[in-house]
Amino acid sequence: MAMQQVPAMSVIVISPDSYSTVRRTIRRLRAQNVSHQLEIVLVMPSVQSTDIDQGELNCFCGVQVIEISDMMSTARARALGVQRATAPVVAFVEDHAFPAKGWAEALIRAHQQPWAAVGPMMANANPRSLVSWVNLIIEYAEWMEPVSAGVKAHLPGHNGTYKRALLLEYGDRLEAMLEAESILQWDLRAKGHQLYLEPAAKTYHQNFSAPFSWIPLRVDGGRLFAASRARTWSPLRRLLYAFSAPLIPFVRFSRIVGELRRPGRARHLMPRAAPLLFAGLVADGAGEMIGYACGVGNAMRRLSDMEFHRERYLTKHDRLAEVEA
C-alpha cells in the first residue's frame, strides 16, 4: 500500500459563503511550483451548498473542507483550521491577498529553521488608488517591498505562517490569540521564540480604495487590537491607556514616515498621502481608545464581515480591474 504524502504546509483558506469567493487565491496557490506539497484547508459555513471546483484542487497534496456554523469571527475559523490541519506549518491567506510565484517554496524553506513564524513581504494589488496606498501603509508599512530578510518584532497579520505545534499549545485560547495577531506574536517572542520576515515570499494585498469606506475598518481594527491587548489588564491600566490613545496617531505617523524614507519605498506618495494617512491613524487611535475603555463590542463581527468581498469597498476602476483579472 502506498503511503500518503505528508504536506509540508497547510494553507488555511476561509470563505463566508462559497468557493467562488476564494477562487482567485486558490488559483494563485495552484500556480506555486510546490503546490503538490500544500494541503488546502477550506473553512466555510456550508459544505453541501458550496460550489467547490474539484478540478482546481487536484494538484494539491490534500484538501479538507470544514464546515463552521458561525463565520462572523474570522479568528474562530482560523483556529478551527489550525486544529484540523495536518502539516507541521500552517499558513493564513485571505480572499483579497494573492501569493506571488515562489511564495510557498520560500516559506517552506524558511521554516526549516527554528523560526516560530515566518511572514511574507507585502505589495499593493491595486496600486492606482491613493486610498489603497494609505490603507496598505497603515497596515503593512514595515513589511512593504522592498524589505530585507531578518528577525522582526512582529509580522504581517492574516498572512503569516506558524509552526502548528506552537499554536496548538494555546489550546482553547487560540481563537482569542488570533483576534489580533500582534498579540500572538508578542507572546511567542516573550516565550523565547523568534519571528522571521522572508522577502522571497511575496503577497499582493488588495486594499480598500472607495472614498470613506475604509474609516469603519480603521476604527474597528483599532478597537479589536486594543481590546485583545488589554484582555487581562486591570481597569486602571485600561483607563490609563485610553487616556493616552490621542497620542497614538502622532507616534505611528512618525514611525510610518521613517519606514517610507527607506530606499526603494514609495516616498513620492507622502506629500499627497499625508493628510489621508493621518486621518486614518486618528480613526485607528479612536478605535483603540474605545477598545481600552469599553472592550471589543461588535468590532470582530463587523470586521469579519468587511474582510470578505473586497469589491464592495473598491473604486469603480479597481472593480473593473478585478473583473478582468
Neighbours of 1 (CB within 10 A): 3
* C-beta neighbour count of 270 within 10 angstroms: 15
- Return the pLDDT at 4: 58
Longest pairwise C-alpha distance within the chain: 65
Work out whether the CA dihedral 53, 57, 62, 67 comes out positive or negative. negative
Residue that has been written with the C-alpha cell 501603509 in this structure: 137
**Residue 324 to residue 29: CA distance in whole angstroms:** 19
**Element of type H or E holding 6:** none
81 within 8 A of 14, measured Cβ to Cβ:
yes
Number of Cα atoms under 13 Å in the Cβ half of residue 119: 28
Alpha helices in the chain (DSSP H): 23-30, 74-84, 103-110, 130-140, 164-168, 174-179, 181-190, 215-229, 235-244, 248-260, 270-294, 299-307, 316-324
- Residue type for 288, please? E
pLDDT of residue 1: 35
Predicted pLDDT at 87: 98
247-299 confidence digits (pLDDT tens):
999 999 999 999 999 888 888 888 999 999 999 999 999 999 999 999 999 99
Rounded average pLDDT per 10-residue block, the chain, 325 residues: 73 93 95 97 79 88 91 91 98 97 98 98 95 96 96 95 98 95 96 98 97 94 96 96 97 95 87 95 97 95 91 90 60
Helical packing angle, 299-307 and 215-229, nearest 10°? 130
Q: Are 156 and 143 in contact (CB under 8 A)?
A: yes
Query: Hunting for cell 513589511 — which residue is that?
Result: 143
Say what the pLDDT of residue 187 is. 97
Joined together, the cell numbers standing for residue 236 give 486602571
Q: Determine if the pTM surpasses 0.85.
A: yes
**Domains of the chain by start residue, with CATH:** 9-205 (3.90.550.10), 215-324 (no CATH)
Per-residue confidence (pLDDT) for residue 323, from 0 to 100: 53
End-to-end alpha carbon distance in the chain: 43
Give pLDDT, residue 117: 98
State the Cα–Cα distance between residues 142 and 254, nearest whole angstrom.
13
